[in-house]
Amino acid sequence: MKLVKILLFICGVFVVVPACAKMRLPQLVADGMVLQRNTSVNIWGWANVGEKIAIRFQNRVYHTVTGKDSVWKVILPPLKAGGPYVMDLTADNHIVLHDVLVGDVWFCAGQSNMVLPMERVKEKYPDEIAVANYPEIRNFFVPTVADVSGLHQDLPAGKWLKTDTKNILSFGATSWFFAKRLYQKYRVPIGIINSSVGGTPIEAWISREGLKGIAPFDKRMAQFGNAAFIDSVTRKHAPAADPFNTAAYGTDKGLSETQPWFDTTYAPRHWHHFWLPGYWEDQGIKDLHGVVWFRKEINLPESVSGKVAKLFVGRIVDADQTYVNGRLVGGISYQYPPRRYTVQAGILKPGKNIIMVRVINFAGKGGFVPDKSYRLQIGDDAIDLRGDWQYKVGQAFEPVETVNTFSAQNEPTGLFNTMVAPATPYTIKGIVWYQGESNTGKASVYGKLLTALIADWRKHWNAGNIPFIFAQLPNFNEVRYLPAESEWATLREGQLQALAVPATGMAVTIDAGEWNDIHPLDKKTVGGRLALAAEHVAYGEQGVVPTGPIYKSASINGNKIELTFNNVGTGLTTNDGDELAQFAIAGADKKFVWAHAIITGDKVWVWADKITAPLYVRYAWADNPEGANLYNKEGLPASPFRTDKP
């Protein structure tokens, strides 16, 4: 036993520095990997101190010796695009890597709109999936791990996947369309490392050094070094409870009565009418968080016998369990995914059929999100489920005190340590960033944070001004019909500021969102525009107009303001042939009113009859600037802006 304890002590730090181990490779250096072309390439790993490493690749042999930190590294000379190749690594043990390609590697990161997989948009892009045979486009998805205590040496377990009709469903949709466009243009292998986590703020993706001096993160990070603090917050907050099990809040009558409400023999009494889609807050139920059951009867013909169907129940806030004829056909525990449930053969029957949806809501307005798909699809026949349903409250939750929870993935450095730092030795072409929604509550500091992230990542990759391409936030939320302040517009302004950093590119997406969905489905537009920016910034395509018009300057001429723009391309235009919209103007009091605007050459003139001494202009300054229609003739929308910037 004493000998075992001594050995454990000697090797006890192997999670951080894998001593007492055979040669080991990082997760990214694996079968199917894509290596970056036309530049020196790092291959590294871990082994016993002093162990000799030999790498055979493309008919050459490279030698190195493992250092005192148990790390070894070989730098391959610039490689031409091609493959597949075999890489042979020899130390005290022997590893052979197969199907290695050389091409362009992009590190794609951010939050949910970078994570959102092709599976979620398969109904929108069925042809993309049906013909997905691109073995030279590879994807490595980084599983979520967060830690504020320090840097990790390696990523969590993952693997490189080729593009085929099965694998593509797990690829991020934005990164897929980005990669596909680049592949079709340059015809070299494309590797995507997708390191993204839904609902996370930008500060979680920046290192301790990168956040230094930016309040209030210094103070928060100082707490991470206090073991007592870390212990207190991790013990205090247990994992979230099962949202379907509401017993802790009381009794759900829909499940506890003699006949459950989803049972086909249940006879409904005292149910109320509900117009679906919609929220119960707007239809007679006030301030309720709890469980509400929804019921609809439909009549089907004889032809449904033995058929499989697809039930689309839009989006639901928050969780749902959905039944057809007493059979549970699906359930999702949170509000964002679309509800697309398979109804197996034999469940539907000729005549009366009953659909029941148990909705569990914890915050906000519970119910069914408008402007989504609510239908029963049986072969080529679609039955519209919108309209008159019935509802009954099964359970009302008592108000509970809100507890601030600690989640490492939402804390400063929490994701940089685990999902960025371990990837920085891997040689890449550039970075694609799609994030910001989680920072709209404190939008005014986003520009500073994004600029800090760009500098921080470039420093850690140690590759100079590595190309950094990012998506500006799309349109979202209800339309406002008078000029107003907007946190989403303020955050877009912060993103626009980062465009001043050298070797950056931005995709404007204010026409690619959905008012009622923070996860819009049009990822083809976003991915394509990100690729267009990359063509200019990373591939040096000087003839490419990389983005839409970007505000440059303003000058006052009487009662009008003249605006000039960069990225005009072959000229300014509107995308719909209508008069320019979403321009607002103000005088010294900054009380903005809607303005007239016209295109004159490469400039825009803005005025309003009631503003005789104008000083400021805003364009598309809203969460959802519906009707914003200033474009260049290349078809790219102008970025929102204001001239009254603080």
Q: Which of 396, 418, 448 is the last residue of a domain?
A: 396
- How far apart CA 86 and CA 35 sit, in angstroms, is 12
3-state SS, one letter per residue, for 206-227: CCHHHHCCCCCHHHHHHHHCCH
- Rounded to the nearest 10°, the torsion over CA 486, 489, 491, 494 is -130
The single-letter code of the amino acid at 181 is R
- Beta strands across the sheet bearing 367-368: 278-279, 367-368, 316-317
For residue 428 the two structure tokens come to 């890449």
For residue 227 the two structure tokens come to 């073991």
For residue 45 the two structure tokens come to 């790993």
pTM of the model: 0.90
pLDDT for 574 equals: 97
In a domain? residue 312: yes
Do residues 637 and 631 lie in contact, with contact meaning Cβ atoms separated by under 8 Å?
yes
- How far apart CA 502 and CA 513 sit, in angstroms, is 28
Q: How many domains does the chain have?
A: 2
Do residues 640 and 623 lie in contact, with contact meaning Cβ atoms separated by under 8 Å?
no
In a domain? residue 205: no
pLDDT in tens, 547-605: 999 999 999 999 999 999 999 999 999 999 999 999 999 999 999 999 999 999 999 99
Q: State the CB neighbour count (10 A cutoff) for residue 62.
A: 15
Q: Which of 380, 396, 412 is the last residue of a domain?
A: 396
Do residues 541 and 524 lie in contact, with contact meaning Cβ atoms separated by under 8 Å?
no
The single-letter code of the amino acid at 310 is K
Instruction: Decide: helix, strand or coil at residue 493.
Output: helix
Enumerate residue ranges in the chain where pLDDT < 70.
1-21, 234-241, 401-404
- How far apart CA 494 and CA 450 sit, in angstroms, is 8
Q: State the CB neighbour count (10 A cutoff) for residue 307.
A: 16
> Mind giving me the DSSP string for 524-543?
HHHHHHHHHHHHHHTT--TT
Residue with tokens 């970025």: 639
The single-letter code of the amino acid at 453 is L
pLDDT for 240 equals: 56
- How far apart CA 517 and CA 89 sit, in angstroms, is 48
Neighbouring residues of 172: CB distance < 8 A, sequence distance ≥ 6: 108, 114, 115, 116, 117, 118, 139, 141, 192, 194, 196
Give the domain extent around 635. Answer: 550-642
Short-list 197, 196, 221, 224, CA closest to 211: 221
Q: Which of 371, 396, 421 is the last residue of a domain?
A: 396
In a domain? residue 87: no
In a domain? residue 75: no
Number of helices and strands in the chain (H, E): 11, 36
In a domain? residue 532: no
pLDDT for 400 equals: 72
- The values of phi and psi at residue 262, to 5°, are -85, -10
Q: State the CB neighbour count (10 A cutoff) for residue 362.
A: 17
**In the chain, % of residues over pLDDT 70:** 95
Q: Read off the CATH number of the domain in which 355 is found.
A: 2.60.120.260
The single-letter code of the amino acid at 348 is L
- How far apart CA 114 and CA 413 sit, in angstroms, is 19
In a domain? residue 471: no
In a domain? residue 401: no
In a domain? residue 339: yes
User: Does the CA dihedral 31-91-150-502 come out positive or negative?
Assistant: negative
Q: Which helix (H) or strand (E) holds 311?
A: strand 309-313
Do residues 339 and 313 lie in contact, with contact meaning Cβ atoms separated by under 8 Å?
yes
Short-list 197, 191, 395, 439, CA closest to 285: 395
Pairing type for strands 94-110 and 34-36 reads: parallel
For residue 372 the two structure tokens come to 């989504």
pLDDT in tens, 64-122: 999 999 999 999 999 999 999 999 999 999 999 999 999 999 999 999 999 999 999 99
Instruction: Decide: helix, strand or coil at residue 181.
Output: helix
For residue 623 the two structure tokens come to 């969460």
